[in-house]
Amino acid sequence: MDWERSRAAVPRFEFLAEAGSTNDELRAAASGPDAASWAHGAVVVTDNQTRGRGRLGRTWLAPTGKTLAISVLLRPELAAGVPFPVDAYGWIPLIAGAAMTEAVRRAVPERGEPVDDREPMLPPRRRQRAASASVDRPRDASASPELDGGVEVLLKWPNDVLVSGFKICGILSELLPDSGAVIVGAGLNLTLDEHDLPTLTSTSLLLATGEQPDADAVLADYLGTFLELFDGFARSGADAATSGIAERVTALCGTLGSDVRVELPGDREMLGHAQRLDADGRLVVIDRENGEPWSVAAGDVTHLRY
């Protein structure tokens, strides 16, 4: 594949036949002696990542050729070279998540559209396992299949994209403290079948549609949308409200309005109701025990259903 559309969407596009981690490859390039040639918006991609990682140090592995590991370099600054506000960095993974959510939405049927009789969202083996799960305790609602024809693609705060509750993409952002640059890594499941999936709560574009995805089209859509949204955010002075980013992310975020369990740093846990995003992109959760609002900047979030 020549990745013609994806190459046209960004200032520099490098496809690697294999990489340990595309984030690591891009970090080395963007901070090395040739850093000037790696401009804002440069991208490194592979379909064979051997040492991928997710949040909280988790590993991320996938069969060769069935997923995309995508790393985008951002060099955030405001007009006239004004430094990017520190508080605005929290919106970056949400902007990436919004861009990927919209790209996946355009690649799969929307809720209510017919999907033939294939029921592609959950293969029979996984449907049987899900149906046998206990209903006597709170469950992760994001793992609940919705097989009513068509699918629903939503952003799970802060960095997962879900298709009818199943994870199709995760996002990991890393700051380069010496330069203020940010590398945004995304892992998109393309053609994993039910035997390839790492968990019962995962899916792929192939499973969601029943068809071989056009990887170049989806990737180009994500890259173009991501840079358009981020550059508009920067032009607005990194103001999420003025730029429309807060409204756009809020509309896509399925976490809002959900009962959630938040696993906080230090082995702490909170149960509550996800109410809204604050001005810095943090998740405001109403604590079930005392009704107090908490702004959560980091932590694993599980959507609960009782």
Q: In whole angstroms, give the CA distance from residue 131 to residue 145.
A: 10
Q: Which two tokens stand for residue 271?
A: 């149960």
The whole-number pLDDT of residue 188 equals 97
Beta-bridge partners for 296? 283
Q: Which of these, 43, 55, 36, 57, lies nearest to 14 by C-alpha position?
A: 43
- Give me the domains of the chain, ranges plus CATH numbers: 4-254 (3.30.930.10), 255-306 (2.30.30.100)
- Percentage of the chain modeled with pLDDT above 90: 72
Q: Which of these, 30, 34, 18, 62, lies nearest to 174 by C-alpha position?
A: 30
Q: In whole angstroms, give the CA distance from residue 105 to residue 34.
A: 37
pTM for the complete prediction? 0.86
DSSP letter string over 224-237? HHHHHHHHHHHHTT
Residue 246 dihedral angles phi and psi, to the nearest 5°? -60, -45
Sheet containing 13-16: order of strands: 13-16, 43-46, 67-74, 181-189, 166-176, 160-163, 153-156
> 231-254 pLDDT, tens per residue?
999 999 999 999 999 999 999 999
Element (H, E) at 185: strand 181-189
Parallel, antiparallel, or unpaired: how do β-strands 139-140 and 300-305 relate?
Answer: antiparallel
Residue length, the chain?
Answer: 306
Residue 292 in 3-state DSSP?
coil
Alpha-carbon 167 to chain mean position: 9
C-beta neighbour count of 211 within 10 angstroms: 12
pLDDT band at residue 142 using 50, 70 and 90 as cut-offs = very low
- The mean pLDDT of 250-276, rounded to a whole number, is 93
Q: Taking 70 as the threshold, does the pLDDT of residue 190 lie above it?
A: yes
Q: What is the DSSP secondary structure assignment for residue 238, as one 8-state letter? A: S
Q: Which two tokens stand for residue 227?
A: 């840079």
